[in-house]
Amino acid sequence: MQLNAKHLLTIRDLSAPEIRELVRHAAELKAALKGPGHAKSLAGKSVALIFDKPSTRTRVSFEVGVSQLGGKPLFMTSRDSQLGRDEPLKDTARVMSRYVDAMVVRTFGQNVVEDLAQWGSVPVINALTDLYHPCQVLSDLLTVSEHKGRLEGLTYAWLGDGNNMAHSWLEAAAALGLNLRLAYPPAFMPDQEIVEHARNQGAQITLSHDPREAVAGAHVVNTDVWASMGQEDQAGERRGAFEGFTLDAGLLSLADPAAIVLHCLPAHRGEEISEEVLEGPQSVVWDQAENRLHMQKAIMEALLAPQAS
């Protein structure tokens, strides 16, 4: 498959058929990995991973994914490159493009991935910014499709911070016309432009400050940390503000009885999610984490080796 966009900076870059095709192909790669194997579609290609924030899942799943496709991953941080000594992004983008076939970037500002995409000549994949986490939500759609057999016609609940994950869910809802209910404390609302965009695209978006209202009858219940990377100094004050938003057994009992629970991890047990729910039968978080590998391979093939997918 060939994506219309050259980069994956946000789910807004993708059409509904492209998202469905990525989910289908990721499932195909997953099955192939457990069976006969798949093509080494990135043979001879190098992919730079440039990370300014910590990571377990994203880093390892991209490194392993590139290797499984026959390519070479190169991990670096801004701190140990000249970016940390203020070499401009536009120079870095052009230099890196002479060496590697793609850049996978985890950073703070969305402008960083946008600048690298603008100045470089190779695909840039957003591996999390303060604004978005598209690879995670695309992987989550694979997990929903595996457990629910469909993406449309479900009620999705988001509990907690109106953060990068919430924004990528809003964009997935926009692309696919999903019914998404978000519940957050008043001061932690998602970006208004992103909400409006999703509504204008035909998604059914419900905003509230009541987690029970969001969860009632939902088929997919999703939460995330209350303090994201870069907000560690606000963790204490956020714990107070998010009181009542813990996804525990009582709250989950309001959801559809067959609801699944998603959490992108890392989780803070006893804060945004209880131990009982995270480890309980409705939690699919380990499948969710595994699916990062398969979805990101599908994304890389679509951007770097479209003939293989």
Residue 284: name its binding partner from ligand CP, ligand NVA, none (Cβ under 5 to 8 Å by kind). Answer: none
Which tokens is 238 given?
């956020």
Residue 224 catalytic? yes
Among 13, 224, 271, 272, indicate the residue that binds ligand NVA (CB under 6 A).
224
Residue 296 catalytic? no
- Residue 237 has φ and ψ, to the nearest 5°, of -65, -35
Residue 167 catalytic? no
Residue 166: name its binding partner from ligand CP, ligand NVA, none (Cβ under 5 to 8 Å by kind). Answer: none
CB nearer ligand CP, residue 126 or residue 155: 126
Under the binding rule (CB under 6 A), the answer on residue 113 touching ligand NVA is: no
DSSP assignment of 242-302 equals TTT--B-HHHHTTS-TT-EEEE-S---BTTTB-HHHHTSTTB-HHHHHHHHHHHHHHHHHH
- Which residue among the candidates 167, 224, 294, 296 is catalytic per the annotation? 224
- Which residue among the candidates 7, 57, 106, 167 is catalytic per the annotation? 106
Q: Is the peptide bond before 266 cis (omega within 30 degrees of 0)?
A: yes
DSSP code of residue 8: B
Q: Is 6 helix (H, G, I), strand (E, B) or coil?
A: coil
Residue 204 catalytic? no
- By CB atoms closer than 10 A (0-12, 13-18, 19+), residue 267 is buried
Among 41, 107, 163, 283, indicate the residue that binds ligand NVA (CB under 6 A).
163
The residues that are catalytic are: 106, 133, 136, 224, 264, 292
Give me the residues that bind ligand NVA (CB under 6 A), please. Answer: 128, 133, 163-165, 224-225, 228-229, 264
